[in-house]
Amino acid sequence: MAMVWVVDDDNEVRGVVQTLLEGLGHQARSFGDAQTALQEYRPGAAEVIISDVRMPAMDGLAFTHAILDRDPEASIIILTGYPSVNTAVEAMQAGAVDFLGKPCNVGELRVRVDRALDIRAWQVRLRKNRLLTLGLILSLPLWIILGIVLVSFLH
């Protein structure tokens, strides 16, 4: 299945989420702070990242921005013990693909992780399709392109 990172300063929450993820068949790696996770992260290292929003030194929103700067296709779920509409909006504006309140049950976690994996897969497909389209356009002979431009001006 997928590699999912869990970033939370609360040892108990981190352990429970990691255990739930492993029970769902995913590989899970956990971090006690955002800085360590950020130092370890390379594009594609995790298919989904679940991050607490309130952590010392670097909060989950700053962490989300930093990860997405490195890997725009990263799928990040923000986890919080203080769910509110404002926090959810801030998380989505930061680039998170979903928002999950604590405590969460295994069903909720499964749905959110599956959705995040789907979003990541679509982003990867979109990038590949853009590259294929660009390659196709660049491979067309110049006279075909000029003909298309000329026809568009005539109509």
Length of the chain: 155
Within 8 A by CB and 6+ apart from 49, the residues are: 4, 5, 6, 7, 37, 67, 74, 75, 76, 77
Q: Domain of residue 74: give its range.
A: 3-154
C-alpha 26/C-alpha 4 separation (Å) is 7
The pLDDT, as a whole number, for residue 143 is 67
The pLDDT, as a whole number, for residue 27 is 96
C-alpha 76/C-alpha 37 separation (Å) is 13
Measured over the CA atoms of residue 41, residue 42, residue 44 and residue 45, the dihedral's sign is negative
Three-state DSSP state, 18: helix
C-alpha 124/C-alpha 119 separation (Å) is 9
The pLDDT, as a whole number, for residue 137 is 76
Residue 101 belongs to a domain with what CATH number? 3.40.50.2300
Digit-by-digit pLDDT tens for the chain (155 residues) are: 899 999 999 999 999 999 999 999 999 999 999 999 999 999 989 999 999 999 998 999 999 999 999 999 899 999 988 877 888 888 888 889 999 988 888 898 899 999 999 998 888 888 888 888 887 777 767 667 778 888 888 87
**Number of structural domains found in the chain:** 1
Can you read off the two tokens belonging to residue 116?
Answer: 């995040």
Pure H helices in 28-105: 34-40, 60-70, 85-94
